[in-house]
Amino acid sequence: MKPSMVTIEPSGHFCSDCAVRGSAVCASLDAAELREFEHLGRRVHFDAGETVFSEEDITTSFYNVLEGVMRLYKLLPDGRRQIVGFALPGDFLGMNLSGRHNFSADAIGGVTVCQFAKVPFNRFIEDRPHLLRRINELAIRELSQARDHMVLLGRRSADEKVATFLLGWRERLVSLEGASNTVPLPMSRQDIADYLGLTIETVSRTFTKLERRGAIEIIHGGISLLDPVKVETLAAP
């Protein structure tokens, strides 16, 4: 978990052939703006397990995920961890009011981000309300997801949590990898537990239970939805 050297250097990459061109914050920019925007962001790579930023760090950059998966989490003083979300390509990280990050972010597996220094980025936004509107949309979408997750954390049983997670994760992957009943789970069982407000043992047992019922098959690096309807039934109420 050594902190990576955050070198911001010319990337030699172009927004126009960026993987997240259409979905990310950049979706709101026209071709001319994109060329200018290109100079603000730098591609940075993080290895598995590296921390991209930590809660309470002064915010110096914003990040657009280009590749890989990140876990976003908060820690209690005694070490308990709550994962508040997983970031995927197209997600935009780093917005806050306090000037400090309000959660930490680790790479799960290798991650590539487009990193923007805060000051020039804010200056760029300044007279581009459509970009601000795009950022606002992303915030509102996240807020909606956060509320859904509150319902899950506060009111759902372990079975429902796991079933809901599997379906939701599959859904999120659709736009990236297409629809499939084979659901890769790049995060560890501990990550899933900390996302769902459970212990690793409960997650493991619930996976096994789902498998024994014939709803899923636990495969290497993920699960396969053998009976999506059954999983939906478990997740539903």
Q: Would you tell me which residues interact with a copy of itself (CB under 8 A)?
A: 74, 76-78, 80-82, 84, 95-98, 102-103, 129, 132-133, 135-137, 139-144, 146-151, 153-156, 194, 196-197, 236-237
- 38 or 106: whose CB is closer to DNA? 106
Give the interface with DNA as residue ranges (CB under 7 A).
Answer: 157-159, 188-190, 197-205, 207-208, 218, 220-221
Rounded to a whole number of angstroms, the minimum distance from the CB of residue 97 to a copy of itself is 6
Q: Binding partner of residue 199 among a copy of itself, DNA, none, CB under 5 to 8 Å per kind?
A: DNA
Secondary structure of residue 87 in the 3-state scheme: strand
Strand partners, 64: 92, 114
Rounded to a whole number of angstroms, the minimum distance from the CB of residue 150 to a copy of itself is 5
Q: Binding partner of residue 177 among DNA, a copy of itself, none, CB under 5 to 8 Å per kind?
A: none
**Which residues fall within 8 angstroms of residue 159, CB to CB, at 6 or more apart?**
206, 209, 234
Task: State the pairing for strand pair 222-225/216-219.
Answer: antiparallel
| Of residues 23, 34, 65, the one with CA closest to residue 128 | 34
Q: Binding partner of residue 218 among a copy of itself, DNA, none, CB under 5 to 8 Å per kind?
A: DNA
**What is d(CA 71, CA 195) in angstroms, rounded to the nearest whole number?**
9
Q: Binding partner of residue 220 among DNA, a copy of itself, none, CB under 5 to 8 Å per kind?
A: DNA
Rounded to a whole number of angstroms, the minimum distance from the CB of residue 27 to a copy of itself is 14
Look-up of token digits 């598995």 = 48
- 165 or 207: whose CB is closer to DNA? 207
**What is d(CA 147, CA 176) in angstroms, rounded to the nearest whole number?**
23
- With contact defined as beta carbons under 8 Å apart, do 25 and 95 qualify? no
- 7 or 98: whose CB is closer to a copy of itself? 98
Q: Binding partner of residue 189 among a copy of itself, DNA, none, CB under 5 to 8 Å per kind?
A: DNA
Residue type, 218: I
Task: Look at the alpha carbons of 143, 148, 154, 159 in this order and tell me if their dihedral is positive or negative.
Answer: negative
